[in-house]
Amino acid sequence: MPRTSYATYLRRLRRWLPLPVDVVFVDGLDTRTGNLAFCNLYRGRFKIEMEAAISEGDRKDTLVHEWAHALSWGEEKEHHGPAWGCALSKCYRVAVEGWRPRQRAKRILRG
């Protein structure tokens, strides 16, 4: 099975789970806590900040993880609760497996 690139993951997520998301790579992100990235909502747009020095595989995994945070934003107080888990499953299927939902996701931004 051919390897799928980070760019393909991003393209699939933007097409099938469209959200106002900017992905930025940052040098020197504080990774001592194990966080390779952060997702924040600012003025109606999500911003995923990712450590620039991580590997291609970690970038792909982290992108899917953080996109799930954006997709489930405002639905629960837990960062990794049930709503996030459902969003992660959907993001994984779209980005990794190439699944195409019958309808594109529609989200109302809260927060």
pLDDT digits (tens, 9 = 90+) for 2-22: 688 999 999 999 999 999 999
One-letter amino acid for residue 4 of the chain: T
Q: Is it the case that residue 48 has pLDDT exceeding 60? A: yes
pLDDT of residue 21: 95
Lowest mean pLDDT of 26-30, 78-82, 100-104, name the range: 100-104
Selection from 73, 75, 8 nearest residue 38 by Cα: 73
Classify strands 45-51 and 21-26 as parallel, antiparallel or unpaired.
parallel
Distance of alpha carbon 9 from the chain centroid: 10
User: Is there a contact between 51 and 45 (Cβ–Cβ < 8 Å)?
Assistant: no
Q: Compute, in degrees rounded to 10, the torsion defined by CA atoms 18, 73, 100, 95.
A: 90
- Both tokens assigned to 28: 């020197």
* 61-97 pLDDT, tens digit each: 999 999 999 999 988 888 899 999 999 999 999 999 9
Largest CA distance in the chain: 41
Beta strands in the chain (DSSP E): 21-26, 37-42, 45-51
